[in-house]
Amino acid sequence: MLRLLVLLPTYNEAANLEAIVEAILRQSADTSDIDVLVIDDNSPDGTGQIADMLHTSHPMRVHVLHRPTKEGLGRAYAAAYAWALASDYDVVAQMDADLSHDPADLPRLVSAVAEGADIVIGSRYVPGGQTPGWPWRRRLLSWAGSRYAAALLGLPVRDVTGGFKAFSKRALSALAATAPRAAGFAIQIETTSEAYRHGLVVREVPIVFRDRRAGSSKMSRAIVLEALCLPWRLRGASIHRPAPGSRTHATSGTPPQAAA
């Protein structure tokens, strides 16, 4: 049985953290194959204290990485990748802590890694992927942003900006080898670009993406600007060029219905 670690970066997610952690742990076939690492950037709403409480309740399965300041998603993931590698997990997944990603989809992502993929993207834009409740303008803007990054970087991936991913140990080692350029949500573009550059097998599986249930979005103008500029920086550094043998595979099909 593969050892899976799920990374949950948090900032002011007190209203969602307990529900998402418990939902992740319920996906486990027994009491040992799924662990959770909460990476909290000193949330003022008490998210870190809730994470500590969850660690007390599940001392072998829930771990907490406290960071002193809010430095952005890219820095949080960099710290989490190093922690995961040191802990020798077989598969590492990352997902949002706001319940927009359904933990019930984790087994499908892990299965794709077990079948040979290095990075598996929970994709909104392959057949079967959905974004229910989104107005058409938001759906168009999100899709266009993903296509913009993919076109600039030469990536045959439909959901370049998706944040629900699973990594093989080989992929995680490759990503952790260099410091990320992206500080915010653009880290999703960078990790996919890096995977393709290293010749890793990238696969997309369809997911249902739902809006957060509680709390507020962390999106800002600075984050959007970084996402617009980063592909040009990556392109200029030529790191978008794939190593020989890189492959990308999209899997269609309707995913299981996400929890309401």
* Residue 91 exposure: Cα atoms within 13 Å on the Cβ side: 25
DSSP letter assigned to residue 141: H
CA distance 196 to 119: 9
From first to last of its 260 residues, the chain has per-residue pLDDT tens of 789 999 999 999 999 999 999 999 999 865 458 999 999 999 999 999 999 999 999 999 999 999 999 888 888 999 999 999 999 899 999 999 999 999 999 999 999 999 999 999 999 999 999 999 888 888 888 888 888 888 888 889 999 988 999 999 999 999 888 777 776 778 888 889 888 888 999 999 999 998 756 555 555 555 556 555 655 566 555 444 444 444 555 554 444 443 33
The residue type found at 64 is V
Q: Which domains does the chain have, with CATH numbers?
A: 4-250 (3.90.550.10)
pLDDT of 231 reads 57
CA distance 70 to 194: 24
The reported pLDDT for the residue numbered 177 is 82
The token pair at 35 is 């662990």
List the structure tokens of 57. 């309740």
Residue type, 71: E
- Give the model's pLDDT for residue 28: 83
How confident is the model at residue 256, as a pLDDT?
A: 43
Alpha helices in the chain (DSSP H): 17-25, 47-57, 73-87, 106-114, 136-153, 169-176, 187-197, 221-236
| Res 152: pLDDT | 84
Q: Which amino acid is present at 136?
A: W
Predicted model pTM: 0.83
